[in-house]
């Protein structure tokens, strides 16, 4: 039996509040009870809108929670899969949640943990569509470090030259 609905909710709340020690303890306790890995527990914990604790942490700017989730997930493949889960409503990924709410640090932590900074949500929006007050070049630098080059589409959305940096 996976985490209960109440436990899943508590995991998201703790992630959103930045309560990393309690978050890690709870996930490990559930994993031990279920004879599963912490990563398996996290992968199964989603709300009715298919949001994960990563969506909640990203929307709250909780960089340490994102790092804790990454540690609990363990493998690179688990991190990439978990941080690439879209919610059911808008198709937002955690990177969209971070940038929509203005948290560049959370965005960077997600990308460092395996999230793809170039994904589009259900409406075709990319993280660059939510830049707000952030420097365009900073986000482009993060994308370039992740992919090795900046997609021409990103540069075009920002009204920049479509050549590479």
The pair of structure tokens assigned to 102 is 């203005």
What is the model's pTM? 0.87
What does the alpha-carbon distance between residue 62 and residue 16 come to, in Å, rounded to a whole number?
A: 6
Rounded alpha-carbon distances, angstroms, from residue 160 to 45, 93, 95: 40, 25, 22
Q: Which residues of 129-159 are buried (b: 16+ CB within 10 A; e: fewer)?
A: bbbeebeeeebbebbbebeeebbeebbeebe
**pLDDT of the chain, 165 residues: tens digit per residue:** 689 999 999 999 999 999 999 999 999 999 999 999 999 999 999 988 889 999 999 999 999 999 999 999 999 999 999 999 999 989 999 999 999 888 999 999 999 999 999 899 999 998 888 876 656 778 777 877 777 666 677 667 777 765 544
Is there a contact between 109 and 67 (Cβ–Cβ < 8 Å)?
Answer: yes
| Complete DSSP assignment for 73-122 | H-SHHHHHHHTTPPPTTT---HHHHHHHTT-HHHHHHHHHTT--TT---T
Domains and CATH numbers, the chain: 5-157 (1.25.40.20)
| pLDDT at 165 (0 to 100) | 45
| Complete DSSP assignment for 6-36 | HHHHHHHHHHHHT-HHHHHHHHHHHHHHHTS
| pLDDT at 133 (0 to 100) | 60
What does the alpha-carbon distance between residue 148 and residue 52 come to, in Å, rounded to a whole number?
A: 28
């Amino acid at each position: 039996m996976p985490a209960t609905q109440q436990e899943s909710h508590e995991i998201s709340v703790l992630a959103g509040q930045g309560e990393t020690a309690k978050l890690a303890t709870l996930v490990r306790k559930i994993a031990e009870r279920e004879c599963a890995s912490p990563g398996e527990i996290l992968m199964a914990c989603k709300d009715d809108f298919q949001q994960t604790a990563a969506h909640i942490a990203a929307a709250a700017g909780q960089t340490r929670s994102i790092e804790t989730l990454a540690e609990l997930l363990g493998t690179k493949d688990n991190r990439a899969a978990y941080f690439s889960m879209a919610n059911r409503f808008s198709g937002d990924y955690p990177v969209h949640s971070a940038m929509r709410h203005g948290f560049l640090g959370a965005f960077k932590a997600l990308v460092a943990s395996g999230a793809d900074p170039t994904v589009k949500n259900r409406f075709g929006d990319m993280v660059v569509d939510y830049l707000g007050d952030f420097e365009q070049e900073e986000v482009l630098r993060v994308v370039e470090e992740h992919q090795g080059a900046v997609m021409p589409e990103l540069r075009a959305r920002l009204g920049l030259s479509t050549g590479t940096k």
